Chain A
């Protein structure tokens, strides 16, 4: 189990690195989807409850993603108003 959670955490830290390198909304969306999938996977893996450090790591990555989305150029809403 310990081995498996380490692999999942490694995937999470990979996402952290990619967030830093992310430069477009498209890349961001891919990372967000990856994060959501990984989070689901971790939650499924730790069905009894997330360990505190894992919970913190997930929240940290989520905060990174939110911050990054805010830093990217504002979303163009012109399509939305068509």
Chain B
């Protein structure tokens, strides 16, 4: 019996201890989460600290502006050499308006020219070569600068501004002569080494050459606004000089023809001026009157003959806009 009592007491004690442990465990249980909560933030803080550099979000935020900056820098790098630091490749080049005697079977670039143009950046180089091919095709190294030329030399994909910039750059490098005739009209003379065997010299264009060197040098020294200079040039030039620079059909040195060519340029400019003066709508009306007048005076067949019609139309404009006739103009020029 005593043994059974002892066993019973021992069991009771063990059960009591067990229950006490459970109660203590239950009491400690709510404290542990708090302790855990207290510990977790610390752990998370510890964990977050290494995570900060690893988190892609933070990285992305930092990375995004970088490409933009890089792109801006790249653009600046692209723009800088074009707009600012352009120095003429050669200042001694003589710009001669030439016509080629024959159509060339081969497009050959003289060594002298090749040495010069190899210094050009890729885009300017491409543009120059295209212009050179165009010059050979047209059998003259000058013409009007603008959208038509851009299209004809296969640079359609370029915007007008880009093409203008290319032209200005080539001019700044000293391999192209650009002349601003009016607000909308520009002419170019491409530098080609003169060769007596294959070319006919039409005019040396000495004065414009000297003038053209100055702006290129200025452009090289100071990245001044481009638009102001070409506009300023024609104002300084007398009309006769501008007229001489007009590209035309090859004329073989006859003074009278040269004069007439100049006169045609003068008329062209005067018509442009008149167009600006009277406005588009009025000019359209004048054109309509001209068509009716030409039909009445010269007959209907003249209207469908493009060359004759242009001639009569020009005469009509000369009369309508009080433009001096060739004889009067020649007298006024002395």
Does A65 have its Cβ within 8 Å of any Cβ on chain B? yes
* Shortest distance between the CB of A56 and any CB in chain B (Å): 16
Q: Does B310 contact A (CB under 8 A)?
A: yes
Instruction: Give chain B residues whose Cβ lies under 8 Å from the Cβ of A62.
Output: 295, 300
Kindly supply a per-residue 1/0 record for chain A positions 54-65, scoring 1 wherever the CB is within 8 Å of any chain B CB and 0 otherwise: 000000001001
B301 cross-chain contacts in A, Cβ below 8 A: 36
Tell me the minimal C-beta distance from B185 to chain A in angstroms: 8
- Evaluate contact between B291 and A29: CB separation under 8 angstroms: no
Q: A81-B264, A81-B265, A81-B268 are in contact. Are A66 and B300 (CB under 8 A)?
A: yes
Interface residue A74 (Cβ < 8 Å from any Cβ of B): yes
- Size category of the B interface is 20 to 34
Q: Are B300 and A75 in contact (CB under 8 A)?
A: no
In B235-272, which residues have CB < 8 Å from any A CB?
A: 246-249, 264-265, 267-268, 271
B288 touches A81 (CB 8 A): no
Residues of chain A within 8 A (CB-CB) of B292 are: 66, 70
Residue-wise, chain B 297-313 has the 8 Å CB interface mask toward A (1 for contact) of 00011011011011101
A78 with B288, Cβ < 8 A, contacts A29-B304, A32-B304 known? no
For window 31-82 of A, CB contacts with B under 8 Å fall at 32-33, 35-36, 62, 65-67, 69-71, 73-75, 77-82
B198 to chain A, nearest CB (A): 22
CA distance A76 to B28 in the complex (A): 100
- Using A32-B303, A36-B301, A70-B292 as known contacts, say yes or no to A82 and B283 having CB atoms under 8 A apart: no
- Measured CA separation A70–B303 after assembly (Å): 10
- Cβ contacts A8-32/B at 8 Å (1 or 0 each): 0000000000000000000001001
Instruction: Judge whether B249 and A29 touch: CB under 8 Å.
Output: no
Counting CB contacts under 8 A, is B18 at the interface? no
Instruction: Report the bound CA distance from A82 to B310 in whole Å.
Output: 12
Residues of A within 8 A of B313 (CB): 75, 77
Chain B nearest CB from A42 CB (Å) reads: 14
Distance, CA A75 to CA B288, complexed state (A): 11
Q: What's the least CB distance linking B267 to chain A, in Å?
A: 7
Of all chain A residues, which has the CB nearest B290? Answer: A70
Which residues does B use to contact A, with CB under 8 Å? 143-144, 185, 246-249, 264-265, 267-268, 271, 283-284, 287-292, 295, 300-301, 303-304, 306-307, 309-311, 313-314
- A residues touching B (Cβ–Cβ < 8 Å)? 29, 32-33, 35-36, 62, 65-67, 69-71, 73-75, 77-82
Given contacts A33-B304, A78-B268, A81-B264, 13 further A-B contacts (CB under 8 A): A32-B300, A65-B303, A66-B303, A69-B291, A71-B288, A73-B284, A77-B313, A79-B310, A80-B307, A80-B310, A81-B268, A82-B143, A82-B248
Return 30 A-B CB contacts under 8 Å, by A number: A29-B304, A32-B303, A32-B304, A33-B304, A36-B304, A62-B295, A62-B300, A65-B300, A66-B291, A66-B292, A66-B300, A66-B303, A70-B287, A70-B288, A70-B289, A70-B290, A70-B291, A74-B283, A74-B284, A74-B287, A75-B287, A75-B309, A77-B271, A77-B310, A78-B185, A78-B268, A80-B307, A81-B265, A81-B268, A82-B143
